Structure 1
């Protein structure tokens, strides 16, 4: 089946996703927010899946710069002056720890006349990691892993990360004080709160250690004794009115709303009726799939002869509470649950992908479904019910041939979901 004689539905949905990613490319988005290069010493730092691409965009305007940026393995970009270090995500490793230590050393001794450009994007929460004698890297790895499998929303995970960190929650900015700092951010969090992007390393924070303790209890996460003791302290983040963050400007330069708007514009130009359901939607992937399937089926039942195709777009960040042993991120699990809810309903297609190209911890952006997805899977010997129960959506879609694999996209504005009703 083609759409108005042009594209197969899955090709059209992929084109919308590609458009959403392209709009968030730092090479396109960053230059408009970059001031003239300040006089005096300029240091560029950063962390996140998009940070190396952001550094490349900076040098395209400013020329070679002094600095250090930490990105995910496979996401490095060529820079003339800024050093790019690759480290692990979503669970931190020794490379990230060593690079963070060097970054903090680079900031030592800066004065009021110096300027720091910080480049922050999603993934910084794991890539910026500073261990100590009291809280080791192994302790932090254990908590990161537990958080990722708990089903906790990203905002709540980041509150915990801030309070057990020596560099998040405004502490990276405080390390550069009294130098002036401009922090350019690409948002991957619902609501685009700068304090949540990458766990807010350049943003003062108003939460307390008690908030982190309460969230750990809520999600039944047991922590090493070293972190329990750290969370009993009173000064685990930098307060918003602290002098250490008084010379920082935090600016979001790309966000999920912009990417959804670009995809919607492309679809409307082709004659589609488009409904944007929201860019900051959160929830358990399979529960959210049930809710969106109900909406899509109702809207399909209300369609009249001659109505244009309908596209439902949404963004945000879904979660998965892992109880199985399979490989599957929230976008793939959403697609699998959605296909089961639709149960072969004619004329409904969908795609869900993470704009960074990584769904959960797999090197897969996400997946797409069609009316025949379940019947094809069963014919291939793949059981959707068992796959969902085992959190094994990626393997399910691999067998089906319906994975979306992009490789590193060099940006990150969270999940992109599209349901097409013909």
Structure 2
């Protein structure tokens, strides 16, 4: 059996690349430079949703000096209040901005309660107020309120089917907008004439802020007909209330309120990959950045990465080893088995199988939020001895792939990457190191 210490330097370097990628998009790093000046008149109402929302709120308080005594003492500037909702276990100790936790990837009663409170705060905004909206990936489930005429149970049932069938996030969020009372710009409508600034940490390929968290403060680009076509394409069983809503909702969306509006995307997968590429160069590795918008089935994306690695090793194209291949985006998994595992672990297991003939290959695939799917790991690590160690334990990569059980495979090898919640989210991060 291969000793893990044989590959410890490469494994540590992969983890350092991931840590650098996450640090670059930490809200404490990327929120302060994007903040508007805190006004002297009116109020500042902070609203937010997503896996990074609590840390974004903490970043606001620290940047504005609201995390100490000044949080309780008047400083001549507009008072700050608000509410953000994040995933269970992703909270932060804030002073002025209330943090609630709710369900993800499927919404729950806490999601609806937090959203109702948020809408009430938005509706209280006056023209002299500033509404600061903090949006990140995961906000679609966390900021959840069904459209009139459908129940939360029916809405949740539809979204759960889409999540299981491998639909891309843009399609899922188009449907969410049509089934929601708050997404697709409806939160902005509630703010009426108040000034509205939205800061976005993007977890979607292409970084369209209207897709992140289903765009609660941006105009809706979807239509009921579009949502219905998506649901039919993926053969989703529709509750009658949902079908009726989509077939009869002919009234065009109400235009956004006319108060000043500003949207800034402050962190993306590209930022994380650039940070990792810079660190790779410092370690004498040429980085090949494939982009932050890769989509597709995890095992198909893995096959493409394996092909690139094979070309580098065999022909020195498009670059020469030692090098590192970096990519981001959001892959999907069409669940057919009953095993455990998120899309990053599945990518890595498929890579182990597809690149078994590529020598001196090391790889890491992790979700930058620290949670791969619904498991407790961020992702996993792969080294040249992984398949041999697995074989010695009687484990077949092909069998585990067939069961969608990548978590169990890498757990048995001791190769899971467990970080806990990072409180940011720019989606997948993949690094393949060729020595």
TM-score, normalised relative to structure 1? 0.95
Of the three residues 371, 391, 405, the one matched with 2:418 is 405
Q: 1:78 aligns with which of 93, 103, 110?
A: 93
Match of 1:53 in 2: 55
Whole-angstrom distance in 2 between the partners of 1:42 and 1:266? 38
Equivalence for 1:29: 30
Aligned to 2:325, what secondary structure does the other structure show? Answer: strand
Among residues 277, 297, 300, which one is paired with 1:287 in the alignment? 300
Q: Deviations over 1:182-226 (max 9, x none)?
A: 000100001110101111111102221101111111111112111
Shift of 1:131: 3.3
C-alpha contact 2:312 2:321 (8 A) present in aligned 1:
no
Q: What is the aligned partner in structure 1 of residue 204 from structure 2? A: 189
For the residues of structure 2 that align with 1:310 and 1:236, how far apart are their CA atoms? 54
The aligned residue for residue 10 of structure 1 is 11
TM-fit CA distance, 1:6: 11
Q: Which position in structure 2 is the counterpart of 1:108?
A: 123
CA distances 1:148-179 after superposition (whole Å, capped 9, x unpaired): 11111111111111111111001111111111
The structural deviation recorded for 1:328 is 1.1
CA shift, 1:243, in A, is 3.6
For the 8 Å contact 2:219–2:256, the answer to whether it is kept is: no
Please state if 1:297 is matched with 2:310: yes
CA–CA separation in structure 1 for the residues paired with 2:429 and 2:389: 25
**1:126 aligned to 2:128?**
no
What SS is found at the alignment partner of 1:279?
A: coil
Give the conservation status (yes or no) of the 8 Å contact 1:45–1:69. Answer: yes
1:311-330 equivalences under 5 Å are: 311-330=324-343
**Aligned: 1:271 with 2:272:** no
- SS of the residue corresponding to residue 195 of structure 1 reads coil
Query: In the alignment, which of 240, 263, 272 is matched to residue 225 of structure 1?
Result: 240
| Contact map agreement 1:165 1:236 (CA 8 A) in 2 | no
**Which residue is equivalent to 2:227?**
212
Q: Give the Cα–Cα distance (whole angstroms) in 1 for the partners of residues 138 and 43 of structure 2.
A: 28
Distance 1:358 1:269, change over 3 A: same
**Tell me, what secondary structure is at the counterpart of 1:278?**
coil
* Alignment of structure 1 residues 326-405 onto 2, 5 Å: 326-343=339-356, 345-405=358-418
Residue aligned with 1:8, SS: helix
Residue number in structure 1 paired with 2:77: none
Q: How far off its partner does 1:365 sit?
A: 0.6
Aligned to 2:366, the other structure's residue is in SS state strand
Equivalent of residue 157 in structure 1, options 166, 172, 187: 172
- Give the deviation of 1:291 after TM superposition: 1.2
Is the contact between residue 171 and residue 238 of structure 1 (CA under 8 Å) also seen in structure 2?
no
> Distance in 2 between the 1:226 and 1:269 partners?
57
Q: Could you tell me how far 1:274 is from its partner in structure 2? A: 1.1
How far is 1:133 from its partner?
A: 6.3
Give the Cα–Cα distance (whole angstroms) in 2 for the partners of residues 205 and 108 of structure 1.
Answer: 20
CA 1:125–1:113 in structure 2 vs 1: closer, same or farther (change >3 Å)? same
TM-score (ref. length: structure 2): 0.92
**SS of residue in 1 equivalent to 2:247:** coil
For each residue in 1:346-399, what CA deviation from the matched residue of structure 2 results, as whole angstroms up to 9, or x when unmatched? 201111100001111112111111122122112112222121011111111111
Backbone CA RMSD of aligned residues: 2.0
Preserved CA contact (<8 Å) 1:122 1:198: yes
Q: Provide the C-alpha distance between the structure 2 equivalents of 1:407 and 1:83, rounded to a whole number of angstroms.
A: 22
- Residues 379 and 23 of structure 1: is their aligned pair in 2 closer, same or farther, counting only changes over 3 Å? same
